[in-house]
A and B are shown apart, each in its own frame.
Chain A
């Protein structure tokens, strides 16, 4: 195990990773580092390149150029070492559906030359919830239980780095919350977690996040810093005719951009001088009724929208 090299302070390190599928550039010069024991979130819409990045880091595919290391091992030269020490939970449920819960767990334990008993402590909290169903076939489990089993299987060999590719996609809100609770516990046990998600609201639960779009990282920072670096003032605007309002706001010279956001429109205003009253008057003149404007704190999603516009 003295193969560990100097880079080993960071759990994951990527240097200008490029990957092209035929004509599509999936990843364009991705650079980032993940500290040990950190929950690092990769936040971005579908098709941004999240899964491709995961597959490169878990040694399933090769990057076209650039270097990457996981736990101090190069993904190309030392892939065998990496495979011994990472846990990977793909976005799609991919365990043996015709084996039972216990058989799946047992199988993955033996594949990694270990036993359930040896690392039971690590998975106890998660596995206990599905243990009553241990003789049920994995294919017959509910979505939330499948996810817990998949996480248990990914953890059974006590990996040093855990890769979770969209673990909460298609999972109900309660289970999602529970799931993030489990990740916090795993972090406490010293496991580095790289997690991707299309849900912006989960970003604030990570230690640091990277916003990704079209194969490029827009920003890497803590969720707090990203929000505080929001450049403009953000207003939530509402009126009776929301569709006309959106078009008017976008056409207006007073605003820099505007997005529909639930039952309100989030408007980013750049000029310092612009007051709320000023905007209200303008909208009044355009014939809007029941106008309501409030200044609000930006969320990660607002930051993402603004960054992705650049």
Chain B
């Protein structure tokens, strides 16, 4: 029996004309465009310089900052107020003010004072710009100290702590390495959460559901026939994702593909279960689309896709704990970047199994003869 239902389901999907293309184009689009466009790496910050010293040192410093490639000199102002104007006009993001006698003070070992002020409307951009700029300046400082050191006095130099930072799992802080696995989760969610729900509601709207109901087909059989095709589609889509990640970004999971497939299998079951629950309560396609959209927005915002869950307030963390998307995103990033195995991801595994059981039980129970 299930064989015939599945055959019908695949015939419908393949005959759709739109759906099969969507299944390929959608993940390719998301994976090819998005990671290049969206980036946390702040580049091309517009710098405004107020140089009150006009000395060799002040010019050296400015030069060093610009040659770092993070900053673009867009404005040179005679005073702070003028510089602030350029920020207001949106021409620059950050101001560097070098006081008069900067060089003199440095050479006399009185220490130099520099003011940096950043536009913090976009807090992230402001603070990252500030950090970049400070580190360039302190780097320059070290250079100056060495320059001014009297020759032969190397022994009595002030002891300094040298910091060697090392970024684990993503040594180059490559944003794409972080985003691509998470985007795969998003694609899987949209395709496998949306499509079964839409497919069932369409049957409701067309009245074919009623014809099936007046036949010996049982409800679990009908639901299973809706789930399996999208399960398979989910596997195809995630495999496309692997391929794109490798071919375009050179990304290969540090862990095993098998562990990803295992988690994906459970995750698709959970998310399409949610789709089925929605389809049971929605009478029309319009209703179903809106409910799915509502959940997707909520899930994506609270998934840790863009902003880390750890920095969210306590209540938001609680909501996120009930978000299957969040758990699967952790899994994908851990396996891809850290090479975690399912044992190390036991919490996530349990959570996803829980979601799968919960949503699918709910789906079967709520699929009743209404009225």
Contact = CB atoms under 8 A, between A and B. Distances in A.
B33 interface: no
A96 B12 contact: yes
Interface in B24-83: none
Given A80-B216, A93-B207, A111-B1, 11 more contacts: A21-B371, A60-B213, A61-B371, A86-B214, A94-B211, A95-B208, A97-B206, A98-B16, A111-B215, A111-B216, A111-B217
Contact of A108 (B206, B215, B371): B215
27 contacts: A21-B371, A58-B214, A59-B214, A59-B369, A60-B369, A61-B371, A62-B371, A83-B215, A83-B216, A86-B214, A88-B214, A90-B207, A94-B208, A95-B211, A96-B8, A98-B12, A98-B16, A103-B8, A103-B11, A108-B215, A110-B1, A110-B4, A111-B4, A111-B5, A111-B212, A111-B216, A112-B215
A94 B210 contact: yes
B370 interface: yes
Contacts of A111: 1, 4-5, 212, 215-217
Q: Which has the most chain B C-beta neighbours within 10 Å: A62, A88, A93, A107?
A: A107
Nearest to B8: A107
A21 B370 CA distance: 11
Contacts of A61: 369-371
A113 B218 CA distance: 13
B21 interface: no
Interface of A: 21, 58-62, 80, 83-84, 86, 88, 90, 92-99, 103, 107-108, 110-113, 153
Q: Which 4 pairs across A and B sit closest by C-beta, in order of nearness?
A: A94-B207, A110-B4, A88-B214, A111-B215
B15 interface: yes
A96 B16 CA distance: 12
A88 B211 contact: yes
Contacts of B213: 59-60, 83
Interface residue tally on B, bucketed by range: 20 to 34
Secondary structure of the B contact surface, majority rule: helix
A93 B207 CA distance: 8
Contacts of A92: 207
B125 to A, nearest CB: 50
Nearest to A64: B371
Contacts of A80: 216
A107 B4 contact: yes
A99 B211 contact: no
Given A83-B215, A84-B216, A113-B216, A99 B12 contact: yes
A68 to B, nearest CB: 14
B359 to A, nearest CB: 26
Interface string B208-249: 101111111100000000000000000000000000000000
A96 B214 contact: no
Interface string B165-185: 000000000000000000000
Nearest to B13: A98
